[in-house]
Each structure stands twice: as structure tokens, then as C-alpha cells.
Amino acid sequence: MTSALPQSDPIRWPAEAIWLAVEPLLPGFTVEVLPEIDSTNTELLRRLRSTPARLEPLLLVAETQTAGRGRQGRSWQSRRGDSLTFSLGLPLARTDWSGLSLVVGVALAETLSEHLPAGHDARIGLKWPNDLWLIDAAGERKLGGILVETASWDGVRQVVVGIGLNVRPLELAPAAAPVPGFVAAPPASLSEIDPALDAPGALLRILPPLARALDAFGQAGFAPFGARFAARDALFGRAVKLSDGTEGVARGVGWDGALHVHTASGMKEIISSEISVRPVATAAATARGPSPSETPAPGLAPC
Ligand code: BTN
């Protein structure tokens, strides 16, 4: 495995430019860059627990995560300089949070797609509910993931949106418990989209559209994002298998972000983020077992 950027090499985070771009969209917004932390999601949830009165939007960026977490208790591997790992915590005045991770995915995919080289036959797709895929001649490979968690105190609900993106190729440790019959595809990285895009540059590009999307979601929920998600839905029309054993054909998502799967016993609506979905026909190529960047590990489940 090639080594991470030496600790002595500083990473120049554009914290002030980020603050200037995001504060008008999320009043009270602050930015913190942490040289090392277990997980930016865990740290934000810890801080919310210890100071529940703190309801202002807060961005935590980690240069190194020692215990990064993915969905369903998996671990999320990253490497200093070669990965972008951050979490945005904010209060959202909404009772119905369904579809939030899809909205985050739409914002990320649209922003990053602006960096795709002209004439290059590649696109960024979204795999329900929280994966960004780079889809090109090499197949479908995971570019990043989203972990949305929530916490509430005294009736006020805070959301923590955690995002992990591969910036440069990572040679990651093999899955601790590979799924028999699946060959793990190497993850994709932003460098394949735009070699000039480093972690600080990507963060600066991503945050303002993300803040706008979160604000829009807070006001009107997932429904206004439905068409934009559909345009990037990487599962639509494909045979899929759910982690509960159900098989069917993915038929897009509803107004609430639920995945519709046409099964032998009728249309099923999948709302639980605890259920994972895998395309059947391309399973070996897409490696949707635990991929190298999301190895199974005991950990906190999304709340
Ligand atoms: C997934 O694909 O399962 C979601 C991965 C989310 C990883 C990010 S990295 C920043 C934040 N901190 C974490 O521990 N996880 C999220």
C-alpha cells in the first residue's frame, strides 16, 4: 500500500472561502479542520450530546479518520490527502426526513459532474440510498458514500450529514468478511474525473450547492428533487436483490425517496436504510459485497 501524505506536509484547507460561501446560506455556520479524529460523524454527535443547546450549523473536516463509519455498521477507510472526509451538522425544521441522503447525493453528483471531461463517456450515478458511483468503460465503481444520522434533544432534531469521497486511488485493505461469489472492484476516485481536483478544492466546490440543497430539503422535502434523482438513478430498470432476500426489478423512487421494487408478489416500497440493494446482473463487476472501502465492522448504526 502506498503511504499517506506525510503529516509534516500541510493540507491547505480554504476554510475562510468556505465560510464566506456557506454562511449566507446557513447563518451561524462555522468550519473546523481536525488533523485526526475517530470519525467526523461520531465527533459531531458527541458534541451535540455534550452541548445540546448548540444548534448552529457546524462543518467538521478530518484530515485523518481513525474509525470512519459507513452505513450498516461498516467501517469507512480513508487516507490523509487521498480522501475527503467531512460531516455537516445542522438543525433542520422538518418532521419528515425521508429522502435526505438522496438529496445529498443529487447535490454531490451534480457538482462533481461539472468536472467530467468533455467528450468522455462517463457519468456519476446514484445507487439508492447513499452511494455515488462513477460509471464509465471500467464499469460501476464507488466514488463515495453518504452517512446521514440524526439526534434530537427537547424536540429539536439535528442532522449530521457525513460524506466520504475518494480523491486519489486507494489501495485499501481487503474486506474482513468478503461475500462469497463477489469480486471486489477497486473504488473510483475524483482524480479520474479531474486530476486537478484535490480534497480542499473538492470541498470548496461541493459545500455551497450542498448547503442550498439542504435548505431546499428543509423547506419542501425530497419531492422537488425526484426528477434530478431519477436522472442519475443507477438501479432503475435493473434486477436487484435486497439484503432481506427479496428479488425484483428496481422501478425508481417515490415522492418520499422510498425505493420501488417490482417483485413477484407486487410492488414493494423500501424505506429502511438498513436494507441494502445490489444489482443482480452485474454483481461480480460492481462488487457490491462489502467493497474495499466499506468493510464490515462493529459500530454505531445510523439512527
Ligand atoms: C457509506 O457508503 O456507507 C457511507 C460512508 C460515509 C463516510 C463518511 S466519511 C465522513 C463521515 N464520518 C464517518 O465516520 N463517516 C462519514
Q: What is the pLDDT of residues 49-79, one digit of tens each?
A: 887 666 799 999 999 999 999 998 999 999 9
> Where residue 168 falls among pLDDT bands split at 50, 70, 90?
very high
**Which residue's CA is the nearest one to ligand 1's atom 15?**
69
CB-based burial, 108-130: b 16+ in 10 Å, e otherwise: bbebbeebbeeeeeeebbbbbbb
DSSP character at residue 33: E
Locate 293 and state its grid cell.
Answer: 472501502
Ligand 1: centre distance to CA 279 (Å): 22
142 is catalytic: yes
Dist. CA 183–CA 93, nearest whole Å: 43
**Which residue's CA is the nearest one to ligand 1's atom 3?**
70
Dist. CA 13–CA 32, nearest whole Å: 10
**Mean pLDDT, rounded, for 169-176:** 67
Ligand 1: centre distance to CA 197 (Å): 20
141 is catalytic: no
Which ligand 1 atom sits nearest the alpha carbon of residue 163? 8
Ligand 1: centre distance to CA 295 (Å): 12
**Hey, is 155 helix, strand or coil?**
coil
**Mean pLDDT, rounded, for 119-147:** 94
DSSP character at residue 103: H
**Mean pLDDT, rounded, for 167-186:** 65
**Which residue's CA is the nearest one to ligand 1's atom 2?**
145
Give the pLDDT confidence of 68-126 residue by residue, as tens digits: 999 989 999 999 999 999 999 998 878 888 999 999 999 999 999 999 988 778 999 99
Residue among 36, 39, 45, 170 whose CB has most ligand 1 atoms within 8 A, to mutate:
39
46 is catalytic: no
Could you tell me if residue 174 is left (phi over 0), alpha (psi between -120 and 50 degrees) or otherwise beta? Answer: beta
CB 222 within 8 A of CB 103: yes
The answer to whether the CB of 276 is under 6 A from ligand 1 is: no
Dist. CA 130–CA 145, nearest whole Å: 6
The letter for the amino acid at 264 is A
The count of residues in the chain is 303
**Hey, is 113 helix, strand or coil?**
helix
pTM summary value: 0.89
**What burial class does residue 238 get, using C-beta atoms within 10 Å of its C-beta: 0-12 exposed, 13-18 middle, 19+ buried?**
middle
Task: Compute CA 140 distance to the chain's CA centroid, rounded to the nearest angstrom.
Answer: 16
Ligand 1: centre distance to CA 4 (Å): 19
pLDDT score, position 299: 24
The answer to whether the CB of 39 is under 6 A from ligand 1 is: yes
Choice among 69, 71, 251, 288 that is catalytic? 71
pLDDT score, position 298: 28
The answer to whether the CB of 283 is under 6 A from ligand 1 is: no
Contacts of 15 (CB under 8 A, 6+ apart): 31, 33
**Which residue's CA is the nearest one to ligand 1's atom 11?**
162
Residue 129: cis peptide before it, omega within 30 degrees of 0: yes
Strands (E), 68-201: 83-91, 123-127, 131-136, 139-153, 156-166
Give the pLDDT confidence of 272-298 residue by residue, as tens digits: 767 789 898 654 443 333 343 554 332
Which ligand 1 atom sits nearest the alpha carbon of residue 67? 14
Residue among 86, 147, 172 whose CB has most ligand 1 atoms within 8 A, to mutate:
147
CB 4 within 8 A of CB 80: yes
The letter for the amino acid at 85 is T
Ligand 1: centre distance to CA 239 (Å): 27
The answer to whether the CB of 295 is under 6 A from ligand 1 is: no
CB 69 within 8 A of CB 41: yes
pLDDT score, position 45: 93
Mean residue pLDDT across the chain? 87
Q: Which residue has the cell 471486489?
A: 184
